[in-house]
Structure 1
């Protein structure tokens, strides 16, 4: 699941910490596009479609309504 893309690393770290507190594994991926650095927060993995739906519901319940499933 992609939780969000952040322009400030501190905000990405805060989101990842919130997920960790909720018992959800996450990672922060640093990327650069057009000369700007940004941080993606992703959570998971989820083994099945049912697991993905449940994880997405939990994440949205934490205040990330724009979260969505990604394959990478």
Structure 2
């Protein structure tokens, strides 16, 4: 397995774990969406705004 693929898999797994810890609905697309936001260097405020629809009251806890 390519090292970049392995790192991506581990990051995706960590994101899914945090989402589950917050009690958020976790599908395959949300962790990918979050990874794209990080890759695009979105600010914390931008991520908070974009994720509020999905995470509701837990958004701040996720983006801090």
- The bucket for the TM-score relative to the shorter chain is 0.3 to 0.5
Name the one with the larger strand percent.
1
Structure number with greater CO (CA < 8 Å, separation at least 6) is 1
Normalising by structure 2, what TM-score?
0.41
